[in-house]
Chains A and B, each alone.
Chain A
Amino acid sequence: MQAVKYARAESVEEAVSLLQDGGDGARPLAGGTDVIVQARERTRDIDLFVDIKHIPEVISIEYSDDSGLTIGAATPCYQIYGDDTISEKYPVLVDSCSLIGGTAIQGRASLGGNLCNSSPAADGIPSLIVLEGQVEIAGPNGRRTVAVEDFCTGPGQNVLADGEFVVKLHFPAPAERSGARFLRFIPRNEMDIAVANAASAVRLDGDGNVSWARVSVGAIAPTPLLVADAADAIVGQPLSEESIAAAAAASSAAANPITDMRGSIRQRVHLAGVLTERTIRQAAERAG
């Protein structure tokens, strides 16, 4: 392990000040399931962990029909999938949180951490994108909000500037007859990193037409993608084999993957389409 120091922040202001004073080597510590490994294996230069888990608003779940859902950035996965309101209204978050790592990882890992680690294969991010998630960031100049789809800028890279950290994630209340689904493709049943993953959200109107949709695909580009063309392919009409196939083709066309030990370019382009198709179908089932 690098000679890393540890500081527990009791407030957002204190965390910002610790991160700012710490400079490049300072990192927020939530569940630590990525950053502790990065410090130990020296894939990032880290000399200060600023523990943000003891700041109440950073580890919390709040919902109201008016303001929607707010999840503190460091709230661990098990609290998210164990929350009755989230299970009922945002089951796509349960899809993601229940397959990030194993049980022991889910006891610590958070959606804020998953987002800030900014892996192209992050299993949380496509779900956050299709739910129209907004990232609330605190920093030396106060707070700002960024849409989840604009947060990651490359593998392991994001929009956070020095002294900034993610405080919480906001999601609008779910509309009537809406549903969302996340799926991941891995060659085994659990405990693996996505070859590709995807989330879709759809909203149906009274006539059964898709009135709104979002599709996001991961591990097929340097960042998780919001694929507007895939959503456009199904909006304004009832779901049909043709429209779903067009959405799948749009996701495959948007894919810009690499070949690595987990999968080839060809397989990932194919999977982007397959997962788009399946998540749209299952999102529509949830929409009822």
Chain B
Amino acid sequence: MASEHIVVNCTINGEQQVFLANERDSLLEALRDRIGLTGAKEGCNNGNCGACCVNMDGRIVNSCLVMAAECEGSEIRTVEGLAEGDQLSPLQNAFLEQAALQCGICTPGFLVAAEALLEQNPDPSEHEIRYWLAGNLCRCTGYDKIIKAVQQAAGQSVV
């Protein structure tokens, strides 16, 4: 059975978007291949790694596990929406200052996930940060620098 093209209306990073997608497209494929937002990355493509993490209607989701067609009427935020123009967000700056990345492929997912954590819990404990980010995998950093970056963004003293 051939998939049809579908039209999806949603808000992406605060802007109303209408895009054409293949009916079988995941949200990740639609973001990267149809809309040109390549911040969300394809890692495992089965929900284990978190590299494709985006915010959908206020909750983080793995965009590889969302059908593009499901996004009709929803509000999507991606890593591209974190900075304001040339001004990086406090979280992004903290990642730079703490050197919380090496290869960088997991970074957009971590940023989107950590941003959502700080929105609902502005002063998380280390334990809360680690559990919240347990679905985001990083092969480079060993996680400590990522945790410190989130702590710095939360205004906590980082040793």
Contact = CB atoms under 8 A, between A and B. Distances in A.
Contact of A190 (B53, B64, B67, B131): B131
A146 interface: no
Contacts of B72: 8
Contacts of B46: 37, 40-41
B84 interface: no
Contacts, number: 97
B62 interface: yes
A249 B19 CA distance: 59
Given A104-B50, A107-B56, A47 B1 contact: yes
Contact of B47 (A5, A37, A47): A37
A65 B6 CA distance: 46
Interface residues of A, number: 31
Interface in B45-64: 45-48, 50, 53, 56, 59-62, 64
Given A29-B67, A36-B65, A37-B65, A107 B24 contact: no
For B4, B6, B23, B117, the residue with the greatest tally of chain A CB atoms inside 10 Å of its CB is B23
B70 A51 contact: yes
Interface in A1-43: 1-6, 8, 29, 31-33, 36-37, 40-41
Interface residues of B, number: 36
A108 B134 contact: no
A5 B4 contact: yes
Contacts of B4: 5
Nearest to B69: A6
A159 interface: no
Contacts of B136: 102
B60 A36 contact: no
Nearest to A2: B24
Contacts of A190: 131, 134
B1 A101 contact: no
Nearest to A190: B134
B139 to A, nearest CB: 15
A104 B61 contact: yes
B65 to A, nearest CB: 5
Interface in B17-64: 23-26, 45-48, 50, 53, 56, 59-62, 64
B3 interface: yes
A47 B2 CA distance: 10
B2 to A, nearest CB: 6
Contacts of B113: 103-104
B65 A3 contact: no
B90 interface: no
B1 A107 contact: no
A87 B60 CA distance: 22
Contact of A6 (B6, B50, B117): B6
Contacts of B59: 76, 78, 107-108
B62 A3 contact: no
A248 B59 CA distance: 40
A270 to B, nearest CB: 27
A102 B135 CA distance: 4
Contacts of A51: 67, 69-70
Nearest to B132: A103
A3 B25 CA distance: 9
A5 B23 contact: yes
Given A78-B59, A104-B62, A6 B131 contact: no
**What 5 pairs between A and B have smallest CB-CB spacing?**
A102-B135, A107-B59, A6-B69, A190-B134, A1-B24
Given A5-B24, A37-B47, 8 more contacts: A1-B26, A6-B6, A32-B65, A40-B26, A101-B47, A102-B50, A103-B134, A191-B135
11 contacts: A1-B25, A3-B23, A6-B23, A33-B47, A36-B64, A47-B1, A51-B67, A76-B59, A103-B60, A103-B116, A191-B134
Interface of A: 1-6, 8, 29, 31-33, 36-37, 40-41, 47, 49, 51, 53, 76, 78, 101-105, 107-108, 189-191
